[in-house]
Amino acid sequence: MSIEVSPSPISNTLVDKDAYLSGLLDKVMASKSEGWLQDVRDRAADWVRQSRLPTTRDEEWRFADLSALREVQFNNNVETFLPNITPFVLPERNNNSLVFVNGVYAPELSAVSGLPDGVVVSNLANLPGGYDERVRQYLGQASGEAPKGSRPRGDREVFTALNTAGMTDAAVVWVGKNVVVETPISLVFVAVGEGRIALPRCLVVAECGSLFSLVEEYTNRRGAESAEKEGVYFTNAVTEVWVEENAQVSHTRIECDGAEAFHIGKTAVMQARCSRYSCNAVSLGGRFSRHNLEIFQTGEQTETTLNGLTMIKEKQLADTHSVIALNHPHSVSRQLHKCIVGDRAHAVFNGKVFVPKLAQLTDATQLNRNLLLSSKARVDTKPQLEITADNVKCAHGATVSQLEDDEIFYLQSRGINANDARNLLINAFAAEIINKIPIPSLRETLTQTVSKF
């Protein structure tokens, strides 16, 4: 099926390069915003109309075929019912949770209270006085790809620009100077309705000296165990994270969409001097999922830790692309990404670390480890280092392996049956990533998910 394209209401002088993309744009631009936000949306829409969806001929997408996406006719109708999110509520969150349904804020499902002074957890439309102008200075400034060493632009990548063009609201997490938030802040994005396209947007700002944990979840209303009943939908998400001087952010991102869903997500992080940022990204669901994780260093002596876990089976495709741009000296980055691939699933990892001449005394490591559970499973891995500095310590690598018969036999010789032995080895492989997540109940939930894989 194809989408019928109507004339653009915002720019009649531009020639649409991609009719399908233009059709998506017309759907997400159907509603209007007020003031400066509409100006931001219009500029992004103009960029989309001059762009096209990537294909396998594009280097960054050569293993990620979007032809199945083009066959689906999506809609943008507002849902009239609210999902039950009980399975997604964790004890540690208490009253620090924002819930969005199809990218639209759901106050009936959200609970934000008892936060310290100087902390704002809100949607864009309900910001406290004085924050509107401050948000305007950050929103859309760190969410797009950029050449090495330059400031990123939020309107230079087609899916990011499509998200911006359709943005009518956003989740905003703003933690003030020297504020420590003891309990995790939770953002839950629920997809409801077959044929739905949702454009979740997040802005996270950690001012100087602040410290907090953030959990960001993407799921369908029924949860992973019944995800196959949800049907086809498309989530195109963008999260911008600004970590100012001496601030520390622990970020956990969970993607657990329905079995037929398409999910494309961008996480763009700006790290200032002496800041620390860690991301634990877990990808479980979706027929097609892709996570673009980009770190831009804006000051020296930063610490960056990226941990990733992909678990897919059947005919799923999960693609992880990361960029770490280290533009200043004395920085440390650590990246470990693991993939568990079963049946006919296909995992992709492409990690880039840029260390230009200015980034002397950098210490950067990157490792991708993959476990294939069947002869039909596939992984394409491409860790990359580009170094022009001459006084650095950098390393990268990748491994691809299968469960060893000797290991299973050893466990069987200790009285463990073959199936339990297999599960034990898979759990051990995933535990290295899961144990790094700082929230106990979430670690337990993910461990149970791995056990049922």
Dist. CA 329–CA 333, nearest whole Å: 12
What are the residue boundaries of the structural domains of the chain, listed by start? 19-299, 315-400
* Separation of alpha carbons 107 and 225, rounded Å: 26
Q: What is the pLDDT of residue 9?
A: 40
Q: Which residues pair with 300 in a beta bridge?
A: none
Position 18 scores a pLDDT of 87
Buried-state track 21-58, b at ≥16 Cβ within 10 A, e below 16:
bbbbbbbbbeeebeeebeebbbbbbbbbbebebbeeee
One digit per residue, the tens of pLDDT, for the chain of length 453 reads: 333 333 334 344 444 578 999 999 998 888 888 888 999 999 999 989 999 999 999 999 999 999 999 998 887 654 545 666 554 556 665 668 899 988 889 888 888 887 899 999 999 989 998 898 899 999 988 755 443 444 444 446 899 999 999 999 999 999 999 999 999 999 999 988 888 899 999 999 999 999 999 999 998 865 444 444 568 999 999 999 999 999 999 999 999 998 999 999 999 999 999 999 999 999 998 999 999 999 999 999 999 999 999 999 999 999 999 999 999 999 999 999 999 999 999 999 999 999 999 999 999 999 999 999 999 999 999 999 999 999 999 999 999 999 988 999 999 899 999 999 999 999 999 999 999 998 888 899 899 989 888
Look at residue 228 in the predicted model and tell me its pLDDT. 43
Instruction: Write the single-letter amino acid at 318.
Output: A
Quote the tokens at residue 267.
């996480």
Helix-helix angle 19-28:158-165, to 10 degrees: 30
- Please state the length of the chain: 453
| pLDDT attached to residue 283 | 96
- DSSP structure class, residue 16: P
Nearest C-alpha neighbor of 209 from the set 243, 185, 240? 243
pLDDT for residue 13: 40
Q: Please report, for residues 41, 68, 121, the alpha-carbon distance to residue 140 in angstroms, rounded to integers and kept in the order given.
A: 10, 29, 18
User: Using DSSP, how many helices (H) and how many strands (E) does the chain show?
Assistant: 8, 21
